[in-house]
């Protein structure tokens, strides 16, 4: 690889994302609303050829702008009736280790390193309060780097993602 391109690479080896133009932003909005939209549909809606739409979507994936495609799930209907945000205080400089532990937890759907009164915010979905209690008291509090937790039960949630 040419030395000038090495400087344009991120820590993970991928190239730095290129600036997005209006067509790229339109493609992102379409795919955000409907991740199952066909290349033809996307191309027609942004007024480019299918080849151009395909190339742009692949570039957005290669640049890490699009991280993946997935389904928006109604957790309650899927048997995950208990949801909670859990805040964690962790030992300083142990974020990467804690993150790896949290990724293995059943029902964990979002993990964020944050600033403020706590260090980590974790969103979990479990079948019921018993499973939630088990997750917090047994799994989370057994991680050596976790100093404390606070559980905030979710009574109702609203998916802010656009409806297809």
50-103 pLDDT per residue, tens: 999 999 999 999 999 999 988 888 888 889 999 999 999 999 999 999 999 999
Q: How much is the pLDDT for 4? A: 42
3-state secondary structure of 26: helix
| CA pair distance 111, 73, nearest whole angstrom | 17
Q: Contact, 121 vs 154, CB < 8 A?
A: no
Q: How much is the pLDDT for 100? A: 96
CA dihedral 55, 59, 62, 64 (to 10 degrees): -140
Q: How much is the pLDDT for 118? A: 97
| CA pair distance 89, 99, nearest whole angstrom | 13
Q: Contact, 42 vs 57, CB < 8 A?
A: yes
Query: What is the tens place of the pLDDT at every residue in 6-50?
Result: 445 556 666 677 899 999 999 999 998 888 999 999 999 999 999
C-alpha angle 134/92/147, rounded to 5°? 30
Closest CA to 84 of 66, 67, 105: 105
The model's confidence at residue 157, banded by pLDDT at 50, 70 and 90, is: confident
* CA Rg value for the chain: 20
DSSP states of 86-107: EEEEE-TT-HHHHHHHHHTSTT
């Amino acid at each position: 690889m040419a030395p000038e391109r090495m400087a344009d690479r991120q820590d993970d080896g991928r190239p730095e994302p290129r600036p997005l133009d209006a067509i790229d932003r339109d493609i992102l909005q379409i795919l955000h609303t409907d991740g199952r939209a066909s290349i033809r549909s996307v191309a027609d809606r942004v007024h480019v050829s299918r080849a151009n739409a395909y190339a742009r979507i692949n570039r957005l994936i290669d640049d890490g702008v699009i991280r993946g495609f997935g389904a928006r799930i109604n957790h309650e209907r899927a048997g995950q009736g208990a949801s909670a945000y859990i805040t964690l205080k962790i030992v300083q400089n142990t974020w990467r280790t804690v993150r790896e532990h949290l990724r293995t937890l059943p029902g964990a759907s979002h993990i964020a390193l944050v600033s403020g009164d706590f260090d980590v915010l974790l969103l979990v979905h479990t079948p019921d309060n018993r499973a939630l209690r088990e997750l917090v008291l047994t799994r989370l509090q057994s991680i050596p780097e976790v100093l404390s937790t606070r559980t905030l039960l979710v009574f109702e949630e609203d998916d802010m993602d656009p409806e297809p």
